Amino acid sequence: MAEKEIVKKKNPPKAVKAKALAGAKEISKKVEGKYWQATGRRKTAVARIRIKDAKKTSFVVNQKSFEDYFQDKEYQVIAKEALERGADGKTFDVSIVVRGGGMRAQAEAVRHGLARVLVEWDAAMRDSMKTLKFLTRDPRMRERKKFGLKRARRARQWRKR
């Protein structure tokens, strides 16, 4: 009997572990306290985003200026859309690391990540971001090529003669 009691003490229930982990996360956020971070995804593009309160808004994407990285105006609009519609004149220092996918997928991943980090910064923004559909991750990805086929589903053309 004593052995079973010791085992129970060594392995607390999952609810107790979860509370302990939640407390640890809260402490780490309070210690960091200087920035908020989130991840945005689209197709195979992944954007890791950090924002800090600042006097002037600045964007850095993969250690380049925002305009140098997203040279097409359309991609700039897509990437900044969540911040412009949700921040209400607030200024942030935004640092982004984005990998994978094409330029459009990266821009949409940045938009998704910005929406998520703004919700983390202010939970009241959740409804507005939800109605704009910026919090919804678009899961569509290219289907892999199967063996014996030319592409994912394209088979060889049949010839009679």
Q: What is the pTM of this model?
A: 0.73
Instruction: Calculate the CA 117 to chain-centre distance.
Output: 8
Whether 137 is covered by a domain: the verdict is no
Q: Quote the number of domains for the chain.
A: 2
Whether 72 is covered by a domain: the verdict is yes
Whether 145 is covered by a domain: the verdict is no
Same domain, 40 and 118: yes
Structural domain containing residue 93: 35-131
Output the tens digit of pLDDT for each of the chain's 161 residues: 555 555 455 555 555 555 545 554 443 343 355 899 999 999 999 999 999 988 888 899 999 999 999 999 999 999 999 988 887 778 889 999 999 999 999 999 999 999 999 999 989 999 999 999 999 999 999 999 999 999 999 999 999 98
Same domain, 83 and 22: no
DSSP the chain: -HHHHHHHHHS--HHHHHHHHHHHHHHHHHHH-S-EEEEEEETTEEEEEEEEE-SS-EEEETTEEHHHHS-SHHHHHHHHHHHHHHSTT--EEEEEEEESS-HHHHHHHHHHHHHHHHHHH-GGGHHHHHHTT-SS-----PPPPPTTSSSSS-PPPP---
Same domain, 26 and 41: no
Same domain, 39 and 27: no
Whether 42 is covered by a domain: the verdict is yes
